[in-house]
A and B are shown apart, each in its own frame.
Chain A
Amino acid sequence: MAATRIVQQVSIFLENKSGRLAEVCTTLGAHDINIRALCIADTSDFGILRLIVNDPAKAASVLQQAGFSVGQTSVIALQIPDRPGGLGGVLEKLEAVGINVEYMYAFFVRREGDAVVLFRVADDVLESTIRLLQEANVPILSAEDVYAL
């Protein structure tokens, strides 16, 4: 079932000032939420912190209560062979059909010796991307597997 293949990522808007990143992590820690993967995109004025956690709905809720502006985004987690060219092969498949990867980042931990990489594509091509990757036999992690990593 495709729906469980969609992973919820928590995104937090941060102004570029000291202490805010620590506050996010402390808040999550205080609510027993574990960060599984993260990436930061930033400009000179602001940044977006993207997190994969074990309980995205709860994370979004406690961060909003702590005064952060929070969004949830659907992403796909792929299991990719940890060897030269592994990632390139997957990206070529997407490019071949014109699917644009808005951003991607990797998990800290491996799964079965492979790397786990998160992909963000536009919502309207999310389902078709999942189908395409399944047909190409690229292992896609279920949401449950990702939150439990």
Chain B
Amino acid sequence: MAAIYNPRYETIAREELQQLQLERLQATINRCYKNVPFYRRRLEALGMEPEDFQSLDDLRQLPFTTKQDLRDSYPYDLVALPLREVVRFHLSSGTTGSPTVIAYTANDLAHWTELVARNLVAGEITREDVVQIFFGYGLFSGGFGLHQGAEAIGASVLPVSEAELPQQVKIMQDFRSTALIGMPSYALAIAEAMEAAGVDANSLSLRVGLFGAEPWSEERRQAIEERLHIRAYDIYGLSEMGGPGVSGECPERCGLHLAEDHYLVEVVDPATGEPLPEGEEGELVFTTLTKEALPLLRYRSGDLSALDSAPCACGRTVARMRRVCCRTDDMVIIHGINVFPADVATVLASFPEVSEHFQLVVEQVGVLDELEVRVELAPQFFSDTIRGLEGLEQEIADKIRANLGVGVAVKLVEPKTIERSIGKAKRVLDLRDKE
């Protein structure tokens, strides 16, 4: 049987797990009530006190915590402890206009490290491995998270971060890297650079890869495995839950094992917010069970998945979540950056030359994902030269890059050509490979 990093908790009996979850939930609610005015007000509005939570189901009486709640409390309002207890911050990837913050105490960091270590071991990484990490190191939690976990299991870590592709290939050759960790799209870009440089995958020592931070399909997994000669595993996390480490695949690859001793996971109907029976697809809602610095109750992730708590052939008893390929909102993840159409709309509103009708088109060009912003010209336009219109496209693209941190191509289109739908506008057209 494949290795398990923490058998005590990863193979815990379901009944014992639920008892542990209840105790940890009560402690978390207690801390939220005492130390986080936002949550105290919510409980008071319901006429509830921490003692009223006697079963896991009682949690459902609480309203959801949303991304907007986190933005509104930027940077410190949800931090449950004095800053002297906080040892680290990370910020959500994405817009620079309204980021969300995550804080860690020393205990939070230790837990985080352990959870990532579990994912690494489940993904066949051992202390013998030379691990090349190309997640970004910085405010984004991916690089540091995976780094800590890999060191904890004793692997030899190369924190290559977002180095240029030729350097990634050179390091892979020189250090005989055996494991790759980063975004799946970037893994394919490395494969492309390798092939362009005439480097044969057989001449490398690569064995395995853990990829995440953006949705990817089975088709993409196959391409990565064939071109890099590795076995590729999916890992999942979200910055609001502390980053990577929330779940990861084992060699069975029948879903991602959730760290249920640290997170209480619900699946709800995205439209009604009502809980769904196990196995049905819905929105993942997370409650932290051990977080000290930034506990969150019923956080709506926006990610769609389904749970399966049947034991896995690998021996783990914690539930598995189906890999995420869709979201409830229109958020697009491109090069690991979260792009919200609403933020694009804000930029476009500052250009009188264009209308408010636009669409984000995500396309795979070669191995890289590219984002095109199609926007309708206003009924009256000002420049009637090619140079003027191309200049306008460039100006809009520059402003989106400056405000959202993501490079896009802007394409002007005729009025009334972008599809309108009743109710929610279809803001995103994702043409990337799908399962």
Given that A13-B412, A45-B411, A46-B412 are contacting pairs, would A70 and B389 also be in contact in the complex, using a CB cutoff of 8 Å? no
Complex interface residues of chain B between 349 and 407 (CB less than 8 A to chain A) = 376-386, 389-390
Inter-chain contacts of B384 with A (CB < 8 A): 9, 11, 48, 50, 71, 73
Residue of A nearest to B390 (CB): A43
Check A41–B413 contact: CB distance below 8 A: no
Is B416 positioned at the interface, with any CB of A under 8 Å from its CB? Answer: yes
B412 to chain A, nearest CB (A): 6
Is B311 positioned at the interface, with any CB of A under 8 Å from its CB? Answer: no
Check B381–A41 contact: CB distance below 8 A: no
Check A69–B389 contact: CB distance below 8 A: no
Given that A11-B381, A71-B381 are contacting pairs, would A41 and B414 also be in contact in the complex, using a CB cutoff of 8 Å? no
Given that A41-B386, A43-B390 are contacting pairs, would A14 and B414 also be in contact in the complex, using a CB cutoff of 8 Å? yes
Residue of B nearest to A63 (CB): B379
Given that A67-B415, A69-B414 are contacting pairs, would A13 and B386 also be in contact in the complex, using a CB cutoff of 8 Å? no
Residue of A nearest to B385 (CB): A102
Interface string of A62-99 (1 = CB under 8 A from B): 00100111110100000000000000000000000000
Residue of A nearest to B355 (CB): A69
Interface size on A, residues (CB 8 A): 22
**Complex CA distance for A44 and B259, rounded to whole angstroms:** 51
Interface string of B409-432 (1 = CB under 8 A from A): 001111111000000000000000
**Complex CA distance for A70 and B376, rounded to whole angstroms:** 12
Given that A13-B381, A48-B384, A50-B384 are contacting pairs, would A68 and B389 also be in contact in the complex, using a CB cutoff of 8 Å? no
B411 to chain A, nearest CB (A): 6
**Complex CA distance for A67 and B413, rounded to whole angstroms:** 12
Check B415–A71 contact: CB distance below 8 A: no
Inter-chain contacts of B412 with A (CB < 8 A): 13, 46
**Complex CA distance for A11 and B418, rounded to whole angstroms:** 21
Check A69–B377 contact: CB distance below 8 A: yes
Residue from B390, B411, B415 within 8 A of A69 (CB atoms): B415
Complex interface residues of chain A between 112 and 134 (CB less than 8 A to chain B) = none
Is A103 positioned at the interface, with any CB of B under 8 Å from its CB? Answer: yes
**Complex CA distance for A48 and B386, rounded to whole angstroms:** 7
A19 to chain B, nearest CB (A): 12
Check A64–B379 contact: CB distance below 8 A: yes
Check A68–B414 contact: CB distance below 8 A: yes
**Complex CA distance for A42 and B400, rounded to whole angstroms:** 25
Inter-chain contacts of A69 with B (CB < 8 A): 376-381, 414-415
Residue of B nearest to A60 (CB): B380
B195 to chain A, nearest CB (A): 29
Complex interface residues of chain A between 1 and 42 (CB less than 8 A to chain B) = 9, 11, 13-15, 20, 41-42
Identify the 3 closest CB pairs spanning chains A and B, nearest first. Answer: A11-B384, A69-B377, A71-B381
Residues of B participating in the A interface, judged by any CB pair closer than 8 Å = 376-386, 389-390, 411-417
Known interface pairs A13-B414, A70-B379; 15 further A-B residue pairs with C-beta atoms within 8 A, sorted by A's residue number: A11-B381, A13-B377, A13-B381, A20-B414, A46-B389, A46-B412, A48-B389, A50-B384, A64-B379, A64-B380, A67-B416, A68-B415, A69-B380, A71-B382, A73-B384
Q: What are 22 A-B interface contacts by the 8 Å CB criterion?
A: A11-B381, A13-B389, A13-B414, A14-B414, A15-B414, A41-B386, A42-B386, A43-B386, A45-B411, A46-B389, A48-B386, A48-B389, A64-B379, A67-B415, A68-B379, A69-B376, A69-B379, A69-B381, A71-B380, A71-B384, A102-B385, A103-B385
